[in-house]
Structure 1
């Protein structure tokens, strides 16, 4: 394929073409130029570029005039500081923040950023005047906008770039390399003077892929054992989006003519809304279930959901029928909908375990280990990296436990050392958590269908206190926003503290203590 450049554009069209392309990264400019030169006439070339860039701008979070997808990290930092100062200047034009709130929110939306919700007036304004808040929002906006453009240009598919674009994958690799360096060179120091690198600490919890995968498998196995003891049925269900959400065909990678401009984020919103309707209907029918949900991308980034569910035997068929009914309500008459939109596999324990069905999806979406090949024959570890980049770009939660007991309580109890003075039931729960026995933990906590407020243990939070001054810690944005931190668990009015240390960060090298002291 011959390279293309702006120098090949006719002299009288060059200013127009440059104005249309300058807001995009070089990779996207080359893609658009290639399509530009593929048009047979000068009129068709310019019409193509005008319409395409307008269509792209309509899908993005900012107008075409404000579009700046070619900004470097330094550019984003400078822009963040400028926007924070602009908000401060806008606030000064009004008598007080109550009058300036709506104009400021309008300014925020013009930048392609959604206003902050759920905060006090002072806290909300404090965020808008902070360049760090802006930098996080600008990074996220640029990352999604670039991926939206490449998705629109059919650069995310089995043939070109699986699950996410090459630019998004490269950006995620750079981000993780930076995170690794930061964690390696930043130390947490507690009030006793003990130092641990953040990298070491991260490797002790579910931030570590091996630990996260192991815990998910352990909890899935515990649910399966509980279901077998209770005589519950197990099923593996898959729900996909209608054809209009898919950018391209899975076999060829060619453009899907039914696509209506939806992004993977739109597909996830469709599935979330569908799931809310399903859960509401099942609740009205008093059909209870438990299990796990895995969200993963299809070849073009469109999400679909896998559900490993356990349910009482006499409610199995009504549950499946409700889910199939809702999944088929939109565009049910399109070709292939009856075959692909909703699939059901009733699990026969004699032929395979329920955990075995979900194991490959957990591995595929975390690190790709223990798999020979991906769905499309790709290297499984490379595929896992692409799935991670896809989830990070679109902000899609990959794994979710449905029903059952609090995993926060489970994790906190595994940190607990002193259990003196407790009755037999709390002790049994703590011992089950310490042994990694999710089934016994769930039964002793009140059962798989027990409401959270009725479970034996609940998470315990306290206001964060500065131990040097005794003052309550507040948000950096507003002195009236007090911060709360997880401190342990509570049962029958008794608080069991699992987190004793007060930490501060130091960006310097230091000798580490043995990690056994911070567990």
Structure 2
């Protein structure tokens, strides 16, 4: 009995205060939700003091909010159980669709699949069923038959359900789990550890036999926090240099959402977080959507008045996980006041009459070069949201390094983009140019001087020079001197046409290939084992019994270095599958044996188990 009491988080006297007929109900509701069981029980006890009926109703609602559709699975299950759940549903739907197709046709099979997916709490992969083409339906069914698609969707929903309930029962705020709940932070750490272990177990090999461990790729990519922060600061500093040369001024803007978006209120004088009585149930993604709409309206008005700001936007959480925006913008000096007026006007249009709106919702600071640089002003916000480098504490007195980890968990759970460039030249082209060597460009007599200058600027991390060569701080993407170059790359895993970044194309010059070598992903150590087998064959002057040339072929599909690196980054940082990484995600090259699916209404869809299956009309 003592163990049970410690599990559900209630002392003996607290448990005795619950009505006897409710105790079994409370136990059953809390027990199935793992790490959230204890805080759910505590929340129930708090509510039961005011109203037993309301406490029971709320506990049921919270429990249902944690369920994955109508399947009985809860969001707090371990990843192994979730993977089994995904595979079972994908396989069952594939087999059932075959039977539905034989009995009633493809349309009924699709209808069954949609109902089954939605009953599991997932969104069927067709944005608009009424206008979808026959090919789009085929692509959607390919996803539904694939356990990997289920895992991706289920993990995303799982993380958001956990965090939504954690915010509702006040586990996310300054005095509890700042920025994100302890449950989500723990799960995020475990996720990254599993994914890193998976990457360590895999390697990539090219046609020359060179092998690279996937985990090592992360260290040289922008997913490495050190590299990510350094590149951001280079770009920010470059914009500031452009502004100084053009005589433009910088403004630092902070946008805060209306009170109804905030779960908790921080009382600075009391150094406490209290429930916000005006809260209307919005989650961080909905708050982020509010800011995106707001900025879209502001940007449209600026465009109408021919005001072209450029700079960076940072999205970060308040202590309760509600996002707010910081923006460092540069603009012509004569347009600065109008820019400020437009942002202040639109910033308080929603609930602008509530107390404190005029003072708190929009804050604008003019950057004074005599007091410090604009890049230095925003540097602490960049560091705080990446790795806490150079900071001791955050705004709430928490250690900066631990706060950065919690912010990472927050951004991952809610799918919020933390940094965004406003205006300026393409960073993709910048990265592609940095992959080249001077000999790759200078050896071609037709290479223009401007292209060489752009390469030298990128190679020397001079964002200001690169930006000006590309056309300036407010140049449109289609007007830039150098643009990204993509080419068709066959069909993806779900049979959709895909394009591959192969290099850059310069106006008046032509294209420059930056991705030539193709790589194949396989399990670590495969190259060494193959070498040993080849040596054994050479010694015996014959193939070992039972072997064939096919046994020596590398598994997987060819990839470029950057595609392989992007896969490693995605697996480690975006919650991808912790099983052996697949070749190119949804953009993989076609796997031999898979065919373009026939659309609903007739034809035959064939494929491998778990991807498309046999779907015959």
Please report the TM-score for the alignment, with normalisation by the length of structure 1: 0.91
Partner of 1:468: none
Aligned to 2:275, the other structure's residue is in SS state: coil
Sort the Cα spacing of 1:339 and 1:52 in 2 relative to 1 into closer, same or farther, 3 A: farther
Q: Answer with 281-290 or 85-94: which moved more.
A: 85-94
Any residues of structure 2 matched to 1:277-288 within 5 Å, and which?
Answer: 277-288=297-308
**What secondary structure, in the 3-state scheme, does the structure 2 residue paired with 1:477 have?**
coil
Whole-Å Cα distance in 1 between the matches of residues 68 and 193 of structure 2? 29
> Partner residue of 2:90?
84
Segments of structure 1 that go 5 or more residues without pairing to the other structure are 465-471
- Measure the CA separation in 2 of the matches of 1:275 and 1:394: 20
Corresponding residue of 2:41: 33
Change (3 A) 1:56 1:16: closer
Q: Among 109, 114, 129, which residue is 2:123 paired with?
A: 114
Structure 2 partner of 1:317: 337
Q: 2:247 aligns with which of 209, 224, 231?
A: 231
- Residue 489 of structure 1 is matched in structure 2 by 504
In the alignment, which residue of structure 2 is the partner of 1:50?
Answer: 57
Q: Aligned-pair distance for 1:50? A: 1.7
Counterpart secondary structure, 1:115 = coil
Shift of 1:11: 5.1
Instruction: Please tell me whether the aligned partners of residues 241 and 267 of structure 1 are also in contact (alpha carbons under 8 angstroms).
Output: yes
| CA 1:233–1:98: 2 relative to 1, 3 Å | farther
Contact 2:504 2:512 in 1 (8 A): yes
How far is 1:19 from its partner? 4.2
Shift of 1:459: 0.5
Matched, 1:201 2:222: no
User: Within the alignment, does 1:292 sit opposite 2:317 as a pair?
Assistant: no
Alpha-carbon offset, residue 450 of structure 1: 1.5
> Over residues 263-311 of structure 1, what are the superposed CA-to-partner deviations in whole Å (9 max), with x where a residue is unaligned?
1112111111111111122122221111000000000000000000011
1:39: Cα distance to partner? 5.5
* Equivalence map 1:68-467=2 (5 Å): 68-92=74-98, 93-94=100-101, 95-117=104-126, 120-251=136-267, 252-417=272-437, 418-419=440-441, 420-421=443-444, 422-464=447-489
Native 8 Å contact 2:48 2:55 kept in 1: no
Instruction: Work out which of the two has the higher radius of gyration on C-alpha atoms and give 1 or 2.
Output: 2
Superimposed CA distance per residue, residues 415-440 of structure 1 (whole angstroms, 9 cap, x where no aligned partner): 11200320111111111111111111
- Quick one: structure 1 residues 203 and 63, their matched pair in 2 at CA, closer, same or farther if it must change by over 3 Å? closer
| Separation in 2, partners of 1:324, 1:173 | 39
Cα distance change, pair 323–103 in 1 and its aligned pair in 2 (3 A): farther
User: Residues 510, 81 of structure 1: CA spacing in aligned structure 2 closer, same or farther, 3 A cutoff?
Assistant: closer
Number of residue pairs matched by the alignment? 501
In structure 2, the gaps of 5 or more residues are 128-134, 529-559, 563-617
In structure 1, how many angstroms separate the alpha carbons of the residues matched to 2:157 and 2:265?
Answer: 28
Alpha carbons of 1:153 and 1:434: their partners in 2 closer, same or farther (altered >3 Å)?
same
CA contact (8 A) 1:97 1:121 kept: no
Q: Distance in 2 between matches of 1:131 and 1:269?
A: 30
Corresponding residue for residue 17 of structure 1: 26
Could you tell me how far 1:14 is from its partner in structure 2? 3.9
My pick for the range that moved more, 486-495 or 186-195, is 486-495
Task: Report what 2:493 is aligned to.
Answer: 476
Taking CA–CA contacts closer than 8 Å with sequence separation of 6 or more, which of the two structures ends up with the larger relative contact order?
Answer: 2
